[in-house]
Every structure is written in C-alpha cells, then in structure tokens.
Amino acid sequence: MAIDYARRLGASDAEVRLSVNTGLSATVRMGEVEAIERQRDRSFGVSVYFGRCKGQAHTSELTGGDIRDTVAAATEIAHYTAEDKYAGLAPAERMAREFPPLDLCHPWLLEPEAAIELARRCEDSARGVDRRIVNSEGATVDTGQGLSVYANTLGFVGVREGTRHEITCAVIAGDDHGMQRDYWYGTARAAEDMEAPEAIGREAARRALARLGAVPLGTRKSAVLFAPEVARSLIGHLLGAVSGGAQYRQASFLLNAAGSRIMPPWAQLNEYPHLLRGPGSRAFDDEGVATADRNLVLNGNLSGYILGSYSARRLGLETTGNAGGVSNVRMMPGGERPDSPIAALGTGFYVTELIGQGVNPVTGDYSRGAAGFWVENGAIVHPVEEVTIAGNLREMLQNLVCAGIDVDRRSNIQTGSLLVAEMTIAGEQHA
C-alpha cells in the first residue's frame, strides 16, 4: 500500500521499513524484585525518491491513514531537498533471491514470575560464592522478539524474524583493601544455548573477587593482552575505519588501505552472514542486497571496504551487502601460541576492562582507562586498576602477536584474546 501510494504521488522510487518488537525484562536486586518491564515498539519508515532527490519520514502508528500521511510527508520533504547524484535504491540485480533458513527465531515464553525466579537464581548463586560478595547491582533476565519487513519499488520484499535473550549479573566484592565490581552475562537467539543462570552468577562473583587488592602500575611500556570481551572493540575500530562512510568522508586511520597490509601475515578476518542462530545473521542487508561470506582481511591484507549502495557510489565501487553494518565478523585464531594467549604474553598487562572513549578514528590515536591483571612468566601476579593504555590503532593492529582460540561468540564481532606486542601504560610515576 505504502509503495503504491508513493508511486501515485509521483515518486520514481520508494522503499519502506516496518518493524515490531516485543519483550519482557525482570530485575532482582538483593533478592527483591526491582523492576519488571514489558516492551512493545513499532515503527514505520519510508524513503521516497524523485529522481535523485530524497525525502524520509517515520511514524510509530501503523493505521492505513497514518501510513498514507507518513508517505505524503516524505514526498513533501523530497520537494525541498537538494539533488544527490549518489542517492537511490541498491541495484536491482543485487537484490536477494534466496532466503536460507538461519534458525533465528526461538521465542522464550516467560511469564514475569518465571523471569523473576531465573534472575533470583542467578543473583543468589553469585551472592553465595563467597562472604566477600558484599553487595549486588542485581541480575536481569531479558527476552525479546522482533519482526521486520523491507520492501522497495524494485519488487523486493524481505521479512526477518528473530529472538534475542539475555541474563546479566553484576556484584560487588569487598575486603579490608576496598571494593571491586564486575559482571557477567549470557546471550543467545535460543534460551537453551545460554549458560545456566547459576553459572552466570558464579562467573560474575569470580570476576569481582579476582579484582580485590588491585593496585596501579608504574608507567612503562609492555605487551598488552586484551581479553575476548574487550578485544572485540579493537576489531570494531578496524571495521569503522574501513566502512564506506569513513572512507568517502576521509575520516579514517586506514584511509585508502584496501589491498595493503594492515595486520600480520597470519591474520584473517572473515564475515559469515549465514551462521545458524548467529547474533548478526541475515539473508539480506538493510537495502535488500543479498549477503554472502567474505574475507575482510586475508594474510594480513585488507581485501576491501564495508559498503552499502550509497557509500559504494561515492567511492566508485559496488555495494558489499553491508548496508546497516556487518554480519558475524570473526577474527580467526592465529599467530604465536593462540591456544594459550597468557603464555604468549609472558610478562605484561592482561586487560579485562576498558574505560572511557579516548579513541581518534581519524588518526588512530588510542588512549583508554583499563583494569585487569599483571602477568609474569605466563602467570597472573596481581590485579591492576587505575591505569591508562595508549598507542596508535594502526600500529597496534600491525603489531598483533596472536589471536586466541578463546573466541567469544556472544557478539556480532567475534574474537579471542588479542595480544599487542607493545603499548604505553600510564600509571603511578616512579620517584
């Protein structure tokens, strides 16, 4: 209806997006129910094109009259926008024609009482690990299901349906030397693929207890090992730098790097959009373009950029099916001793938490607060806090020593531990 109406109003092309999301969240803190929320969000968006002039409008109301009004509003906006020669739908020949089963929808039909009980089991497990667990920020159970539809005037209609469930727990440990907080979580498309709530609680407690007695380090240079849950941020910075938007705006520390060496020769970074139950799996991107496996980095060389149709036109290239981002990017294990990254570290700083946003995506300058553990001869010596690690992302990526086999698959960006040969650690100044 919306596309036909846009045509009747004179649009040369149009695309619409419709989504409906529902969910339940329950939080328990110190054994008491702290919050219960039900979610139901819906959205309709339309983009219309009059040649190369584009108008967009959105609404959360889905009645026929509201949708027609939204299309009319987008049409009106298009009459006032400047022509953009790069605007338009993705190429018709790139639209997805096959829709492989990805096994993404597994509703978890929890009633509030059941969600509360799961959260309570998780938190009770954490609090029961050790008497030094002195407080809790609570445990939360989240369950969500979403349906989205994308259609355009090229005749493409694509439907996505999926679920995502999560259990999180955060606790505080304390002793004579102070208090430390840490957390853990499980997330999956299907509830049966998550860790048990008790296991999540115990891991949150273990992590908090391990941080007790943390001290700063003296300022120095050393090797730095990023644990998988924080290592993914390094890969995220790489992906941002090779996105089409960063490239055509010339706002990237990897500007014009396609085909060049950006990582060690052993490094391989792949995209797998069709993983069964994958957190980022999809048969088509946000423009209806078919997705496919690809090498982003092969033998340390950047194979190409991450492009939707607009950024591709700006760069004189073709879309890579990445409108809306990447789908299940995985850093493959490799380098020196990927089976034991801490042994490969030898002596250095093992980072388990990053703090702050001190990253310049244009220059690659990197400076963030960090906490974790000091390691000597492949063994943890003591926990560390209140330090800053600094370097340059381009050099950090080129100086990777290994990517561990301990791959964290809970995210759309999946990697094991990443060991950087050398960074500056700023902490206590020696007298």
Q: Give the pLDDT band of residue 205 (cuts 50, 70, 90).
A: very high
Reported as a pLDDT band with limits 50, 70 and 90, residue 210 is very high
**Residue 1's pLDDT band (boundaries 50, 70, 90)?**
confident
Rounded Cα–Cα distance for residues 56 and 70 (Å): 9
Mean residue pLDDT of the chain comes to 96
Lowest mean pLDDT among 61-70, 145-154, 308-317: 61-70
Q: What is the mean pLDDT of residues 250-269?
A: 98
Residue 83: CB atoms within 10 A of its CB come to 10
- What are 118-140's pLDDT values in tens digits? 999 999 999 999 999 999 999 99
Residue by residue, what is the 3-state secondary structure of 43-79?
EEEEEEEECCEEEEEEECCCCHHHHHHHHHHHHHHHC
User: Does the pLDDT at position 328 exceed 60?
Assistant: yes
- The neighbouring-strand residues paired with 47 are 15, 56
Average pLDDT over residues 348-354: 98
Radius of gyration of the chain (CA): 24
- Please determine, for residue 429, whether its predicted confidence score (pLDDT) is greater than 90: no
Going by pLDDT thresholds of 50, 70 and 90, the confidence category of residue 380 is very high
Q: What is the mean pLDDT of residues 404-417?
A: 97
Give residue 270's pLDDT.
98
pLDDT band at 177; cut points 50, 70, 90 = confident
For the chain, helix, strand, coil in percent to 5 are 20, 40, 35
Is residue 431 over pLDDT 60?
Answer: no
pLDDT reported for residue 42: 95
Q: What is the pTM of this model?
A: 0.95
| C-beta of residue 183 within 8 angstroms of C-beta of residue 215 | no
Query: Mutual orientation of helices 197-210 and 112-127 as an angle, nearest 10°?
Result: 30
Average pLDDT, stretch 374-403?
A: 97
Q: What is the CATH number of domain 2-210?
A: 3.30.2290.10
| Mean pLDDT to the nearest integer, 204-232 | 97
The reported pLDDT for the residue numbered 294 is 97
What mean pLDDT comes out for the span 152-169? Answer: 97
**CA pair distance 74, 45, nearest whole angstrom:** 9
Domain ranges of the chain: 2-210, 220-231+334-426
